[in-house]
């Protein structure tokens, strides 16, 4: 995995119109006022009782529809920008061909294991596989069970860095029994995977901002625990996760590395600030 050796200072999350120190879900939201125009009539005849009831019912339905649309827009805005810190913003992936391909490239670049012969060809195959997996998850996962979060330069950053995706992480709702035994009273949790940062932008606190966005998503979705895994020998990842508030609770059995030759992984958990 690609990580940065970075500090994790205690800072206040602010993003867009979010008030400093106030979570986005506690912001005061303005209600839209629906104005319904009634048909005018040049006749002096009074409108009957049924006509009045019908107009009131229509007005009520239109106002409810406005409120419903506004609530949907407010929910969308909550995920437009989860965190903005250190000059980086994290939001949810936009489902479009170009952006998904950039995400697949970032993750393939971070997790591809180079080979001696035909490395470029194998990298292309691996990138295509990553893109295929991303498309499958986006198509088949409910919007509150999976999210691909991307980091990019903040809106007030330099022009040459605008529009670049510099980091990515996957967040998925899971319920594996071996993990749940470490999570008191939980039935599900958020599993973090695929954390990758562009080679040109490493060691600039992007991974820390991505992890903080995962914390925010856990609060918005209402999950108490966040879970991830890292290789035991990856000291950079261990330092990153420890500073982000994660703690080790278990690891793969030793025989996996001695008999199969696979790198040993350790399990990290964190309790969210719900």
Catalytic residue among 223, 225, 241, 246: 241
Q: Is 241 a catalytic residue?
A: yes
272: nearest Cα among 244, 243, 248:
244
Count of CB atoms within 10 A of residue 99's CB? 14
SS3 259: helix
Counting every residue written for the chain, the total comes to: 274
SS3 171: strand
Does residue 232 contact residue 262 with C-beta atoms inside 8 Å? no
Place of tokens 């879970």: 227
Partners of 167 in the beta sheet? 151, 197
Does residue 170 contact residue 90 with C-beta atoms inside 8 Å? no
The CA–CA distances, whole Å, from 178 to 106, 175, 181, 183, 223 equal 30, 9, 6, 10, 18
Does residue 173 contact residue 145 with C-beta atoms inside 8 Å? yes
SS3 235: helix
Place of tokens 């040459």: 160
Does residue 11 contact residue 85 with C-beta atoms inside 8 Å? yes
**Measured between alpha carbons, how far apart are the two ends of the chain, in Å?**
28
Which residues belong to the active site?
Answer: 241
């Amino acid at each position: 995995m690609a990580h940065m050796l970075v500090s994790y200072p205690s800072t206040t999350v602010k993003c867009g119109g979010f008030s400093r120190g106030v979570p986005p879900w506690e912001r005061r939201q303005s209600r839209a006022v629906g104005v319904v125009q009634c048909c005018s009539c040049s006749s002096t005849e009074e409108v009957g009782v049924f006509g009045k009831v019908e107009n009131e019912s229509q007005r009520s339905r239109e106002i409810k529809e406005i409120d419903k649309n506004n609530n949907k827009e407010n929910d969308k805005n909550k995920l437009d920008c989860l965190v903005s810190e250190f000059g980086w913003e994290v939001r949810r992936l936009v489902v479009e061909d170009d952006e998904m391909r950039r995400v697949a490239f970032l993750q393939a670049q971070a997790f591809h294991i180079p080979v001696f012969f035909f490395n470029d060809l194998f990298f292309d195959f691996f990138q295509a596989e990553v893109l295929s997996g991303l498309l499958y998850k986006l198509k088949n996962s409910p919007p509150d069970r999976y999210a691909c979060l991307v980091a990019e330069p903040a809106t007030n950053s330099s022009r040459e860095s605008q529009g670049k995706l510099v980091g990515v992480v996957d967040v998925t709702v899971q319920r594996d029994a071996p993990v749940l035994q470490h999570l008191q009273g939980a039935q599900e949790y958020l599993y973090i995977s695929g954390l990758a940062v562009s080679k040109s932008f490493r060691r600039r606190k992007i991974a820390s901002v991505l992890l903080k966005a995962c914390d925010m998503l856990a609060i918005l979705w209402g999950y108490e625990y966040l879970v991830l895994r890292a290789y035991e020998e990856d000291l950079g990842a261990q330092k990153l996760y420890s500073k982000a508030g994660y703690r080790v609770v278990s690891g793969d059995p030793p025989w996996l590395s001695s008999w199969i030759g696979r790198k040993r992984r350790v399990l990290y958990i964190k309790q969210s600030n719900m």
